[in-house]
Amino acid sequence: MGAIKKILLVSLALMLVLSACGSGNGSSNGELPTVQVNVSSAPDVEAAAGAYLTAWQAGDYAAMYAMLSTLSRDAVSFEAFEARYRHVATEANLFDIQYEILQTLTNPRSAQVGYRVTLQSAVIGPITRDTAMTLSLENNAWTVAWDDTLILPELAGGNTLSMERFDPARGNIYDRNGSALVANAEAVAVGVFPSLTVEEENNALLSQLAALTGISISELNETIFPQDGEPDFYEPIAEVSAEVFNARFDNISGFNGIRYGYYDTRLYFDREAGANALGYVGPIPAEQVDDYIPRGYRIDDRVGRVGVEGWGEEYLAGQRGGALYVISPAGEIVTQIAQTSPQPAASVYTTLDEDLQVAAQEAIKDFSGAIVVLERDTGRILAMASSPTFNPNWVDLNNDNSEWDTYFPDEAGRFFNRATQGQYPPGSIFKIITLAAALESGVYEPESTFNCTSTWTGIPGVELDDWTLEKELPASGNLTLLEGLMRSCNPWFYQVGMVLYQQGFTDLVAEMARGFGLGSPTGIQSAVEVSGAVEIPDENAEIGVREAVQQAIGQGTTTITPLQAAVYVAAVGNGGTLFRAQLVERVEATDGRAVLQFEPEALGQLPVSEKTLASIWTGMRLVITSPRGTAYNRFLGFTIPLYGKTGTASVEGRDPNAWFIAFTDAQSPSNPDIAIAVLVENIGDGSEFAAPMARRVASQYFFGTRGPLYPWESDYGVLDPAYFDETLLDAAATDDGVIQATPLP
C-alpha cells in the first residue's frame, strides 16, 4: 500500500473514532466534545484541487499562486514559485501535464486530495507519480498548502531536476543527384593576408586557390589584390571540407600570406549559393524559446532557420535522447527518473541541381534580384538564387573567416528571399497574360494589327509613351498582335487594355492573371512566400479604364514574385499545366526508407485554348529569333530552342526593374526542359541585364559552360567599371530595392 493511501486511511479512521465518542457538549466521564460544523455549506475541495491542477496544465502560474494559503504565500514569493515550475518544465522538456484525482478526505477546515500526475516529456516520455495536496479553508475558500511534492514526490526538500542530453547528429541536405549541399564535417577556413604575400608567387597562389575553391582566378585576383584601392588586412576566401583541403595541402600551405584553420561545423559546401533556399542553423530566437522547449530543445540549442533547414527541422534534428536526474541541494545525484536513447536524424533531398544553383548565384551576385529555374514539365526547382545573400558558414563563430556580425542590421536585405518574398511590378512580362486575354475575348486575333507609335493617346487627356521614345529609336510601326509581343509595344497593349474594358471585359485581364497563378502563393513547401497582388479595375469607367491600361502592361497595382513568374512561364511551355513549385524531393531515414516523398502536383490548367497557347509560343519565339525581337541580340548563337519575354518595369523614384522569363523546348532525353525567371532590381532594361543572366544559366544547364561574358564583365565574375557610370554601379552594389517587401518573420 502506498504511503499516501496509508495517510488517508489513518486520517479516515481517526475521524470515525472521533465521531463515535459521544454527542454531548462535554461530560465528566471524559468524552470528547463534538464540534458542530455545517459541512454542506463548504466549497467543493475536489473542484478546488482540480482548478489548481488545471491552471498548472495551462501554465497559468499567477492563478496557481493566487490559490495558495496565506502561510504558503508568506513562505515563497511568486517569483520563486514561478521559477520552480518553469525550471521543471524546461529541464524536463514538458509539453503536456495530465492529472487524475484519486480520492479526497475532508475535515471541517482542512482536506487532502490524492492525485496522479503525468508529466509528458519530449525527451524521456511520460513521468507518472501519485502524490497529495493539502488544502485549508480560508474565507470559505479552499487554499493550497504548497510544497515541492505537489510537482513530484522526488522534489521534496528542495531537490531539482537535471537533464543529461544525448543529441543525434543533424541530417544532411542533398541536391537532386545526391551531392551533399550541407553536412556536418570538419572544415577549413581559408584566407589571405595580402600584405604578406610575395609578388613573384601571386600568380601561382591564385591558381592554387582557384583549384581549391572553384572561384575563378580573375575574381580571386580582384578580391585579394583590387585594382582600385588598397587591399584589406585580411581577406576571407572560402570554407572547404578538410578532405578537399588535405588533398591539396602540399600545394597551398607553403605560400606566404595563406591562413587556414580547421574546425568542426555544419558545412555549406557552396557557401553563398542557395543560402536563402537552404537556410542556416543558428541560436533559437529569444522570443521562440517557449515554443522549442516543449519539443525537446535546450535554450542554447541551434535550430534550422528559414529555408530547408527551418522547414525540415523536425526531420533533420532527429529525436533527442536524455537521462533525467534528481539532484540534491548539495549538487549530488539522488536518483535517475528515466533515460532514453536518441534516434537518428533523417536527411533531406532537394530538387536543386548543385552546378546550376552555383551558376545562378554567380550570375546575379553583383546585383539585387533573383533567379529561379524550374523543370518545365514538373515544377521542380533546379535553382533559386536571391541576391544579395549571405554565407551560412559564417554563423559558426569558430570559423576564422566569420564576419556574421557585419550582416546586422540587415540593411541590404541579405536574409530576404527575393525569389519568394519580393513583390514587384511585372512590367512587360505581363503582356503574355494580356495577349492571352485579348485572344480569349474574341475581340482580337493573332493577325490583328495596330500602328505602334511612340506615344499613345487613346484616352482623352492621357498621353502614354512607348519605350522606343526614351531610347530615341524609331516607332515600331504597324504590327500584328504577336509582333506587338515580340517588339514589346506598349501602345498595342494600352489599346488592348482600353478596348477590353470598354467592351465589358472589365475583369478579364485580372482573372486571366489569376488563372496564370498570380495573386496567390505557388505552394512551395520550404520557403516563406507572399501572394503578390492582382486587382480588378475600378467599376467607375473614368478611373477603371486608366487602371486597365496600366494593368495591361504589368504596371499600376499589379505585383508578382519571381517564383510566380517562373511557374506561369513553365505552364505556358508545358502545354498549360500549373504545377506546385517544389523544392523538396524526399526526406530519407538512415536506412534508406522514405519518411516523406513529394511528387509533381498539378494545381490547375491555364484558362486558354490550345490555339491561344500556340500563338503565345509564336510571339515568345519571335522575341528571341526575329532581328526586331527585344532579346534577339542576347541569344545570337544559342542553339537550344528558347521562348522568352523581356520586361522593364517602372518603379517610382528609382531606375526600372529588369525582367526576363523564358522556357526551352529542346526535348532532350538527358536534360529536361526548363523555365527561367530573372529579376534585377533598379538597374534598367530587361533585355540589357536580365536576358544575359538567363542565357548564362541556360548555357550552364545545357552545355556545362557559362557562355559569353556579360557586356558589363571584364572577365567572368569581375565587373568592368567602364560599363557603368558611378551612380549605377553604386546602386547595383548597395541598394536593396525591395518593392513592397514583406519582412522575414
Give the integer Cα–Cα distance in Å for 322 and 344.
14
Spatial contact of 671 and 701, defined as CB atoms under 8 Å apart: yes
Spatial contact of 667 and 330, defined as CB atoms under 8 Å apart: no
For residue range 621-642, list pLDDT tens digits in order: 999 999 999 999 999 999 999 9
Give the integer Cα–Cα distance in Å for 369 and 565.
13
Element (H, E) at 87: helix 78-91
For residue range 553-612, list pLDDT tens digits in order: 999 999 999 999 999 999 999 999 999 999 999 999 999 999 999 999 999 999 999 999
CA-closest candidate to residue 135, choices 14, 34, 53: 53
With a CB cutoff of 8 Å and minimum separation 6, the contacts of 99 are: 50, 53, 56, 57, 115, 116, 117, 118
**pLDDT the model gives residue 41:** 55
115 has pLDDT over 90: yes
Give the integer Cα–Cα distance in Å for 10 and 676.
81
74 has pLDDT over 90: yes
Spatial contact of 550 and 441, defined as CB atoms under 8 Å apart: no
3-state secondary structure at position 82:
helix
Q: Specify the pairing of strand 280-283 against strand 258-268.
A: unpaired
Question: HSE on the CB side for 515, CA within 13 Å?
Answer: 19
The Cα angle at residue 560 between residues 427 and 717, in degrees rounded to 5: 75
Mean pLDDT, the chain, rounded, equals 92
Give the integer Cα–Cα distance in Å for 484 and 438.
12
Place of cell 550552364: 700
Place of cell 488517508: 8
**pLDDT the model gives residue 326:** 98
**pLDDT the model gives residue 205:** 97
Spatial contact of 144 and 67, defined as CB atoms under 8 Å apart: yes
Write the DSSP symbol of residue 536. Answer: P
For residue range 696-721, list pLDDT tens digits in order: 999 999 999 999 999 999 999 999 88
Spatial contact of 466 and 476, defined as CB atoms under 8 Å apart: yes
Q: Helix 431-441 vs helix 562-574: angle between axes, to the nearest 10 degrees?
A: 50
**pLDDT the model gives residue 355:** 97
Query: What average pLDDT does this structure show over 161-190?
Result: 97
Spatial contact of 492 and 498, defined as CB atoms under 8 Å apart: no
Give the integer Cα–Cα distance in Å for 737 and 367.
10
Give the integer Cα–Cα distance in Å for 130 and 152.
8
What 706-715 contacts at long range (C-beta under 8 Å, 24+ apart), as own/partner pairs, is: 706/359, 707/638, 714/218, 715/216, 715/218, 715/219
- Sketch out the chain's domains with CATH numbers: 37-158 (3.10.450.100), 173-347 (no CATH), 427-734 (3.40.710.10)
For residue range 547-557, list pLDDT tens digits in order: 999 999 999 99
- The C-alpha R_g of the chain, in whole angstroms, comes to 35
Joined together, the cell numbers standing for residue 517 give 497563378
Place of cell 522526488: 154
**pLDDT the model gives residue 227:** 83
CA-closest candidate to residue 714, choices 366, 372, 199, 387: 366
Question: HSE on the CB side for 589, CA within 13 Å?
Answer: 8
Binned at pLDDT 50, 70 and 90, residue 743 comes out as very low
Write the DSSP symbol of residue 743. Answer: P
With a CB cutoff of 8 Å and minimum separation 6, the contacts of 234 are: 191, 192, 193, 259
3-state secondary structure at position 142:
strand
**pLDDT the model gives residue 724:** 78
Joined together, the cell numbers standing for residue 471 give 531610347
For residue range 653-666, list pLDDT tens digits in order: 999 999 999 999 99
Q: Specify the pairing of strand 347-350 against strand 173-174.
A: parallel
